[in-house]
């Protein structure tokens, strides 16, 4: 559910270093000292610096894969991230755009989004599960200090497929939306309407915390009961109709344990995949005397 996903990327304008000494070469790419500068201090050992360079080698190889696969962030996603960066630095987007470092900020933000995109593509190939035994073991190590429950919901949605050529005027769009709304009021199957009218594939809903949804979603869900559909509403260029498909209460601590176990496995799967990029034809030259 693309409208329920949020990507958080913290970016500080102070993170842009001026040092540009080359400390390694990977195939046709270079790794500069500034790529590790913010992670080292006077007490950092040479072994630790080499480990940081090893991480940068992995990033270079991922960037090569990104280029090969043609992965690029959507303009609207990149723009949203730039707005977030501006906000975190107490700037307007216009002020950020006037910054001398703006081009570099855009490049680095685009790179971060592309790396995230690559990771999601690779993780789609995984079949990661956690067992009850793993959950029990984690709970034994980290028991709950107090009991707390959490309310979750599943949200079904119809993202209306409004073709500009088929519905060239606001009046035609209004009539089209009214037609679907009327079918919902007459108790037509929401899932069947989604298959018929929704733009793109209809994906299975996941359990979500209402308070962590985008504000516009929270407003639409505010007065909805179970299985009750919202009025059509607009996000960016799309019209949506949503409903609460299911509700449940879960143990918050158990939920966090499961999330941690799953994330650990996802990270391990991805890191194992990254290591497969180190083929025997890979060229690496590290200038250790510069460390």
pLDDT at 107 over 90: yes
Measured distance CA(220)–CA(241) in Å, rounded: 9
Q: What are the φ and ψ backbone dihedral angles of 59, each rounded to 5 degrees? A: -65, -40
Q: Taking each helix axis as running N to C, give the angle between helix 102-123 and helix 252-275, from 0 to 180 degrees, rounded to the nearest 10.
A: 100
Alpha carbon 206 to its chain centroid, in Å, reads 15
Across 56-82, average pLDDT: 95
* Cβ neighbourhood burial of 23 (10 Å; 0-12, 13-18, 19+): buried
* pTM of this structure: 0.71
pLDDT at 236 over 90: no
Cα 21 to Cα 286: distance, rounded to the nearest angstrom? 12
pLDDT band, residue 200 (cuts 50/70/90): confident
Q: Give me the long-range contacts of 16-19 (CB less than 8 A, separation at least 24).
A: 16/101, 16/104, 16/105
Least confident segment among 137-146, 216-225, 249-258: 216-225
Query: What is the distance between the alpha carbons of residues 93 and 98, in angstroms, rounded to a whole number?
Result: 9
Confidence class of residue 210 from pLDDT cuts 50, 70 and 90? confident
pLDDT at 2 over 80: no
What is the set of domains in the chain, with CATH numbers? 2-125 (1.10.4030.10), 148-252 (3.10.50.40)
What is the rounded average pLDDT of the residues 119-148?
A: 93
Q: What is the pLDDT of residue 164?
A: 59
Please tell me the distance from the alpha carbon of residue 28 to that of residue 21, in angstroms, as a whole number.
Answer: 16
Q: What is the pLDDT of residue 17?
A: 43
pLDDT value of position 165: 67
Is residue 35 within 8 A of residue 55, CB to CB? The reply is: no
């Amino acid at each position: 559910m693309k409208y329920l996903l949020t990507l958080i990327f913290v970016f500080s304008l102070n993170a842009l270093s001026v040092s540009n000494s080359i400390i390694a070469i990977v195939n046709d790419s270079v790794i500069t000292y500034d790529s590790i500068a913010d992670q080292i201090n006077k007490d950092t050992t040479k072994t630790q610096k080499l480990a940081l360079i090893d991480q940068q080698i992995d990033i270079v190889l991922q960037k090569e894969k990104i280029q090969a696969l043609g992965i690029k962030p959507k303009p609207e996603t990149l723009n949203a991230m730039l707005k977030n960066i501006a906000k975190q630095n107490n700037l307007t987007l216009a002020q950020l755009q006037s910054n001398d470092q703006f081009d570099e900020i855009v490049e680095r933000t685009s790179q971060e989004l592309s790396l995230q995109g690559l990771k999601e593509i690779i993780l789609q190939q995984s079949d990661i599960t956690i067992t009850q035994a793993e959950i029990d073991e984690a709970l034994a190590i980290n028991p709950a200090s107090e009991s707390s429950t959490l309310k979750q919901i599943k949200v079904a949605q119809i993202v209306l497929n409004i073709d500009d050529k088929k519905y060239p005027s606001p009046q035609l769009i209004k009539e089209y939306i009214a037609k679907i709304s009327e079918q919902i009021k007459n108790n037509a199957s929401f899932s069947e309407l989604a298959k018929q009218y929704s733009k793109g594939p209809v994906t299975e809903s996941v359990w979500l915390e209402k308070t962590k949804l985008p504000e516009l979603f929270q407003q639409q869900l505010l007065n909805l009961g179970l299985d009750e559909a919202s009025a059509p509403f607009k996000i960016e260029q799309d019209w949506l109709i949503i409903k609460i498909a299911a509700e449940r209460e879960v143990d918050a601590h158990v939920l966090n344990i499961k999330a941690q176990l799953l994330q650990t496995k996802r990270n391990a799967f991805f890191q194992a995949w990254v290591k497969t990029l180190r083929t025997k034809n890979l060229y690496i030259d590290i200038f250790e005397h510069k460390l």
